[in-house]
Amino acid sequence: MQAKVEWKGDLRFNATSGSGFDVMIDADLQQGPRPMELVLMGLGGCTSYDVVQILKKSRQQVTGCRAEITSERAESVPAVFTKIHVHFVVTGEALKPNLVERAVKLSAEQYCSASLMLERGGVKITHSFEIV
């Protein structure tokens, strides 16, 4: 996996993924998210992918999955994440709560590379879910 980040002036950078997609990063929030917001977004994408795949393999009729992520950061530099909470809002037909809970737990404990990496770095990550 590769990426390239190029300074575009002021506090803006253009990030290009190895697969060819661009994201504008902007600490002034005029043209894109901040770098640490991208970390949260990456975590959300990684764990949401896992939850949806696990639910599909469990023959659940999932029609939607949203990860709402909140975080706390250290007050001094480096302002690393200290706590992250991921709340899943899962929609579908006749979803079984025990299978949704299982999918969230498997993602957190076994499959989500981003989550596991952050936790091993000292970030306390918690999870919750609701079925709509």
Percentage of the chain lying above the pLDDT 70 cut? 100
Answer whether residue 125 shows pLDDT above 90: yes
Helices (H) and strands (E) in the chain, counts: 3, 6
60-89 pLDDT per residue, tens:
999 999 999 999 999 999 999 999 999 999
Contact in structure between 47 and 107 (CB atoms under 8 Å): yes
Give the 3-state secondary structure percentages of the chain, helix then strand then coil, rounded to 5: 35, 40, 25
26-51 pLDDT per residue, tens:
998 889 999 999 999 999 999 999 99
Q: Which domains does the chain have, with CATH numbers?
A: 1-33 (2.20.25), 35-131 (3.30.300.20)
Answer whether residue 90 shows pLDDT above 90: yes
